[in-house]
Every structure is written in C-alpha cells, then in structure tokens.
Amino acid sequence: MLTSKKIVVCVTGGIAVYKAVALVSKLTQAGADVKVIMTKSAMEFVQPLSFQVMSRNDVYFDTFDEKDSSVIAHINLADWADLVIVAPATANVIGKLANGIADDMVTTTLLATTANVWIAPAMNVHMYDNAAVIRNINQLSKDGYSFIEPSEGFLACGYVGKGRLEEPEKIVKLVEEYFSPKDLPLKGKKVVVTAGPTRERIDPVRFLTNFSSGKMGYAMAEAAAVLGAETVLISGPVCIDAPPNVSLISVESAKDMYEAVLEEFDTASIVIKTAAVADYKPKDVHAQKMKKQPGEASIVIERTTDILAELGQRKKSQLLIGFAAETNDVIHYAKGKLEKKNADYIIANDVTEAGSGFGTETNSVTLVGKNDVEMQFPHLHKKELALQLLQTIMKLEKDETK
C-alpha cells in the first residue's frame, strides 16, 4: 500500500545506478510519489532524464538550482519525505554522512530530514570490508540510520562477494512491509466486497449499464486484504486487475451478482456492497439484434433484486456496509438507506462533486452508521480512503463492544 507515500531516492555514483532506475520505476508503479536526488558522480552513469521519466517528477542534483523560488529545495524535500532511500550508497557518501559533511544536494537533504533514512550500500567487496567503511556504517547505525544489506554475487569490478546493491524487487517489498499497517483488525475474518457496474442485456450487442469504474470497490477489497482479511471480490465488468491476495469472482448482470453474493454470504464476517448494481433490467431480452425502425422505440424495464435490502433481511452476525452514490441531499438519502436496507453503515458521496464519484482516482465521502455515526472524510486517493474507512469502522465496532 504505497499509494500517497512520499519517497525520496538519493542516487550516488556507482555502476549500480542502473538498478536505481528500476527501483524508482517499481516504487512509482506501486503507487508511491517518488522524487530523486543525484550526485554529480551518479550523473556520469545515468542521465537525470531517465529518473524523471520513471518518477514523473523533477530530478534534483544542484543545491543552488532552486526550481521553486518559494521554498529552499533541499529543506523542502527533507520535510516532504515519508522515507528516504540512498541507493546505491557509495563508500564516499557513507563516510560523509557518518561525519556530518554536507557538501552537495544529497548530503544536505540527508542531514536535514527527520524521516527514516535507509542506506543500501553497493561497492567492491574489499571496500565494503575496509575498516573505515565498517566504522562509518557502525556509526550511522548508532545514529539511527537503517541499512539494506548488499547481496553476494558477481561484481562489476570482476570480484565475487558481498557488495551488490540489493535487487529493486526486494527493496520495494521491504518498503511495502514498512508502510503496511502493523495492526490487523480483520485478521481471521472473511470480507466479501462487490464492485463495478452490472450489465443488463437488451440484445446480443446492447446492454444497460452505468459509469462505475470499480475503482472504489477494488480499493476496499485491497484494503481488507492488507488489514488481514480473507477477501472475496465479486466484480462486474471493469478494466482493473484484481488486487493481490484477493479472490476474484467475475459476474455480469445484477442476477449474477446476487447469486454470487448469496453463495458467500453465510460464511462472511463483513459484506461491503460497493457495486453500482442496475436497479432495472429489460423485461424481454431479444435473441437477435434489434434493427432500427422508423420513429420512436421503447424498452419495457423491470426492477432487479435489491441485493443490499435482501442481505439486510438475511443477516445474522454479519456486518453489512453499503455505498450510496447520490447527486443531492446526500446525508438525507444515506440515512434513509441505512434504515430501509437494515445496514450497519452507509458510505455516501456526491458523484457530481469534482474529484469524487465514478472514474476518479480520488473520493470524498461521509460515513453514516448506527448510533448516529456521521463522519466526513476529505478528498483522498481511493486506496488511502478505503484503508481509513475500514480502520475507522473496525475501531467503531471495537469501541461498541467495550
């Protein structure tokens, strides 16, 4: 869960710089906002443009090149970071940092930051074993810096031994573990999440649907898995890959989704109804494509099964959470839905609000629940919002049992 996490990668001069490009790419793909600082020596191996492309951010390398005149660049970067990674870290930068020397953009930022700093050494095996380097590493460890141990293998200098920069995939995994919630309130629970739109067929080439992208539902499923749950995601047709550690059941129509949810319901601890299920479907589905005719045409539609209401009637010990996408009187309709559907919580949002609703990367919602719960959540990335929503709901449930 690296979405919205701010990571500064400090790149110093060694042949392993090419691995740092891959590291920045993989951190960015994992959702992190990455900014890169390079030493002049690092630029002898790889040009800043490579890191700019991979991070989609400006690259910093000159302490006196202030890209934004309203801030001091190295102080701003130091304050901005949630985590700083020095990769590759040469013997030179390790020595400077151990002795408090700040003579370039990398070292001034490292001395100014209060974020955790991870150092990933990469150098010749004999340099790594040198008494001065060992002394500097020990000093930095005492000062609170963390080290990503280099791996063993064939080195660029021709030696075989310890000194290779750890693989980018391993570093990313360590970062993900670092940012993962340490408290797992959903461990031992089964969470069923519905997501996306449904399609109600008119004929073999046409259907009724809505604008749901599935992003919020997929974010809720991912958050449930991160918080320790056995997670089942029942999804309508979307263009999103299933989150890791989530079991995906793909469906098409409201009827398909209803049947899939009932199949999982009795063994579920929590059901989160995020899907934008069609309220109506064509009464008659044509076996052949409907041909154009002169004048107007009409399609008779009928109600689909109200899945949330049905679950509200059937629930025993399950916690039932619904979503309400509204265009006006959001809180009024959310509270009405909470009561009519016999749900425990309703997460409501105004889909007409900028940066919220269908297809957006962010959302702003209000959590309405039993015992007069009404909590507003500001605009957040949907993955971050999903995590906060589930953590909040589980805390409310825990407090209620005290």
For the stretch 101-156, pLDDT in tens is 999 999 999 999 999 999 999 988 888 889 999 999 999 999 999 999 886 655 55
Q: Establish whether 323 is an annotated binding residue.
A: yes
Its pTM stands at: 0.73
pLDDT digit string (tens) for 11-48?
999 889 999 999 999 999 988 999 999 999 999 999 99
pLDDT computed for residue 152 by the predictor: 61
For residues 186 and 399, what is the distance between their CA atoms, to the nearest angstrom? 15
Q: How many helices (H) and strands (E) does the chain have?
A: 13, 20
pLDDT digit string (tens) for 342-376?
999 999 988 888 888 788 889 999 999 988 899 99
Question: How buried is residue 106: exposed, middle or buried, by Cβ count under 10 Å (0-12/13-18/19+)?
Answer: buried
- Of the pLDDT bands very low, low, confident and very high (cuts 50, 70, 90), residue 246 is very high
For residues 344 and 319, what is the distance between their CA atoms, to the nearest angstrom? 6
| 24 and 34 Cβ atoms separated by less than 8 Å | yes
Place of tokens 């109200």: 306
pLDDT computed for residue 156 by the predictor: 56
- Of the pLDDT bands very low, low, confident and very high (cuts 50, 70, 90), residue 402 is low
Q: Establish whether 279 is an annotated binding residue.
A: yes
Q: Establish whether 182 is an annotated binding residue.
A: no
pLDDT digit string (tens) for 277-328?
999 999 999 999 988 889 888 999 999 999 999 999 999 999 999 999 888 9
**Average pLDDT value for residue range 42-63:** 94
Q: Give 197's DSSP letter.
A: B
Residue 96 pLDDT > 90, yes or no?
A: yes
Domains of the chain: 6-179 (3.40.50.1950), 190-288+299-401 (3.40.50.10300)
Residues identified as active-site: 157
Helix residue spans in 72-184 (DSSP H): 73-80, 91-98, 105-112, 125-129, 131-142, 168-179
Phi first, then psi: what are they for 183, rounded to 5°?
-90, 130
Which residue from 84, 101, 93, 97 is spatially nearest to 127, judged by alpha carbons?
93
For residues 67 and 69, what is the distance between their CA atoms, to the nearest angstrom? 6
